[in-house]
Amino acid sequence: MPNTVFSELRRQKIFHNKDFPLEILMHEYKTRTDRWHRHLDFYELVVICSGHARNENKVSSTMVQAGNVFLLPAGSVHRYQEIHQFWHYNVLFDPALLTPNLPMLKQLPGYRMLFQMPPSTPEAACSQLLSVDEGVLAHLIAQIEQIRNELALHAPGWQAAAYFSFLYFLAHLLRNCTPRNLRPNATIQKIGKVIRMLEEDSRKPYTLEKLASKVHMSVSSFRHHFTAVTGLSPGNFLIKLRIKKALLLLCSPASISRVAEQVGFQDSNYFARQFRNQTGMTPSEFQKKYRETPAILHTVMDKL
């Protein structure tokens, strides 16, 4: 790689708020090859959601796929090759953000695997490749989206909310990640696949039969295992998911009927009843309270 040209990624261009060095980017690829780039002064935590690719650095290359997680420290150089239906999140942060809570994070089982780098040159530095099962991956995606929403909306207290959501995300990851060569439970993988599908598009008219057939399980077996993994029946999980998405949309000028349609409720009256069951208020009451006190969004979201 002697004459390779790198894109130099610097924190000044990455972080929109200089006093709060945390950013999340989502990447999809239209070509089979990515460009070489260097992370100069921030960490990049990669969470792969779909597809596969070859992650290449100065001295080695490794195939990575959905469910893999790895960390690139400041100074590292890499690119992706052999890209196929590949999309992932990059959680970009200054490691100093973790300093106040480092003693607690170090107690979690995945800390050393993710943050203690194998010996290498600075340009080739990378954590070992870790994996999470489909259920954990779906939960991580939801947490990442929560952080993205905080960073985008800038509601009162957004920095504190984003920071503590980030810590919660890290804690969940470090509790549940394993070295890549350990095979995750196949049933949990199947349930996780359904959870991720629901997270990505809650608007479709799902039925229990369709969801079970997606993962080649009987309806009774699927219902049992889904409830065991999530603590909710598939129907209740989907309703709660739609209500969470609706809360964010209700912060915009969109009408209640439009919000209901966007999250998957065809009947706005049914939507209003379910919203009240989950939050204790009607959609219009929430909109009124949000206009008066924007922080109500976080209060209600935390209860779901």
Return per-residue pLDDT of the chain as tens, 304 residues: 445 556 776 676 778 788 899 999 888 877 777 788 887 788 999 999 888 899 998 788 889 988 899 999 988 888 998 998 888 999 999 999 999 999 999 999 899 999 988 877 778 788 989 999 877 888 898 899 889 889 988 888 999 999 999 999 999 999 999 887 545 567 777 887 888 788 888 889 999 999 999 999 999 999 998 887 778 899 999 999 999 889 888 888 889 999 999 999 999 999 999 999 999 999 999 999 888 887 787 778 777 7
pTM of the predicted protein model: 0.62
Q: Which domains can be identified in the chain, with CATH numbers?
A: 7-133 (2.60.120.10), 186-303 (1.10.10.60)
197-205 own/partner pairs: CB under 8 Å, 24+ apart: 198/237, 198/238, 198/241, 199/138, 199/141, 199/142, 199/145, 199/241, 202/238, 202/241, 202/242, 202/245, 202/263, 202/264, 203/262, 203/263, 203/264, 204/264, 205/264, 205/266
- Tokens linked to 161: 């909310």
Residue showing tokens 């706005």: 268
